[in-house]
Amino acid sequence: MLEHIELFFKSIFIDNMVFAVFLGMCSYLAVSKKVATAVGLGAAVIFVLAVTVPLNWLLDQYLLRDGALAWLGPEFADYNLSFLSFILFIATIATMVQLVEIVVEKFSPALYNSLGIFLPLIAVNCAILGGSLFMQSREIATLGLAFNYGVSSGIGWFLAILAIAAIREKIRYSNVPPPLRGLGITFIITGLMGIGFQSFGGMLTGGSEEEAPVLEKTAAAKVEEVEVKENKKEIDEKEISYNDAINK
């Protein structure tokens, strides 16, 4: 339970998709002129991330990672298909987006209309692929955590685009110098918002250290003990061989 809460908080605020790793910038910059559309896109991103990250987790777990094919039989245990992960992940994402679009169009035309072009656009949003790849590289342990990771990093992206859309609505009448109008000022705002989000940088690291020092100490102590023993053995052996040599 605790690790779920930690992962949730961490992926929303600390490893925020926009402010910590700068992913999904294209749609973040392009679709953040109005709050209403930003909310639509953000909701769609949350939804797609929540679906694709667990799916890709299954793919990774049972198909792609080193030794994942062991369930087929012992002769497959040596295969490592992780070089295929990009292509399979993006295929999953594209398929899922298409499927979701068809389903939503069929069953909820109102939602479909409100999402409009954003749903297909999401297929090429790098935050989505990034979510799956981070899931892979951070070695998220269970399906539940993968789902959690998808939802929470989506929420982080949602918060970012919501905040910048509100700010852009607020500064619409500001006297921004002409060369900076539009994208220029948006980039500057994003940087400044990044400073604000820095408040969470490095947060909770104390949480893992809480138990870590004890473990580390024991581990270090064990290593030391082993080393000492080995050294003793070596010294003993040397002495023995030295004595042997003398005796001979």
Partner 1 sequence: MSNRRLTFKKRLHILKHHFRDKKMAPAFAAFHTFLFTPDETTHSGAHVRGADDLKRTMNMVILALVPVLLFSMFNAGYQHYAAIDVANNVSRELSLWENFLTWDNFWIGIIKVLPLVVVSYGVGLGVEFIFAIIKGHEVEEGYLVTGMLVPLIVPIDTPLWMLAISVIFGVVIGKEVFGGTGMNILNPALTIRAFLFFAYPTWMSGDKVWVYEAVERTGTADAISGETVLGALAQNNLAELNYSVSDMFFGFIPGSVGETSTFLILLGGLFLVFSKIASWRIMLSAVIGSLVMGYIFNVIVDMGIITEYSNFYGLMSFEYWQHLLVGGLAFGIVYMATDPVTGSQTNRGKWIYGFLIGFLSVMIRVFNPAYPEGVFLAILLMNVFAPTIDHYVVKSNIKKRLKRLKNATILPKDSDSKAEELKAETV
How far is residue 29's CA from residue 25's CA, in Å, rounded to a whole number? Answer: 6
* Residue 244 tokens, joined: 């042997």
Identity of the residue, 203 or 221, whose beta carbon is nearer to partner 1 in the bound complex: 203
How far is residue 73's CA from residue 66's CA, in Å, rounded to a whole number? Answer: 14
Identity of the residue, 74 or 206, whose beta carbon is nearer to partner 1 in the bound complex: 206
Least spacing, CB of residue 203 vs partner 1, in Å: 4
Q: Which residue shows structure tokens 């899931």?
A: 135
Identity of the residue, 181 or 238, whose beta carbon is nearer to partner 1 in the bound complex: 181
Least spacing, CB of residue 159 vs partner 1, in Å: 8
Amino acid at 92: T
CB 72 within 8 A of CB 174: no
- Site residues (CB under 8 A) for partner 1? 35, 162-163, 166-167, 169-171, 174-177, 180, 185, 188-189, 191-193, 195-207, 209-210
How far is residue 186's CA from residue 33's CA, in Å, rounded to a whole number? Answer: 10
Least spacing, CB of residue 211 vs partner 1, in Å: 9
How far is residue 153's CA from residue 127's CA, in Å, rounded to a whole number? Answer: 9
Please count the residues of the chain.
Answer: 248
Identity of the residue, 199 or 231, whose beta carbon is nearer to partner 1 in the bound complex: 199
Identity of the residue, 149 or 158, whose beta carbon is nearer to partner 1 in the bound complex: 158
Least spacing, CB of residue 158 vs partner 1, in Å: 11
Least spacing, CB of residue 134 vs partner 1, in Å: 22
Identity of the residue, 7 or 163, whose beta carbon is nearer to partner 1 in the bound complex: 163
Least spacing, CB of residue 205 vs partner 1, in Å: 7
Identity of the residue, 203 or 228, whose beta carbon is nearer to partner 1 in the bound complex: 203
Least spacing, CB of residue 198 vs partner 1, in Å: 6
Which contacts (CB < 8 Å, 24+ apart) does range 49-52 have? 49/127, 49/128, 49/131, 49/150, 49/151, 49/153, 49/154, 49/157, 50/147, 50/150, 50/151, 50/154, 51/96, 51/100, 51/150, 52/89, 52/92, 52/93, 52/96, 52/128, 52/131, 52/132, 52/150
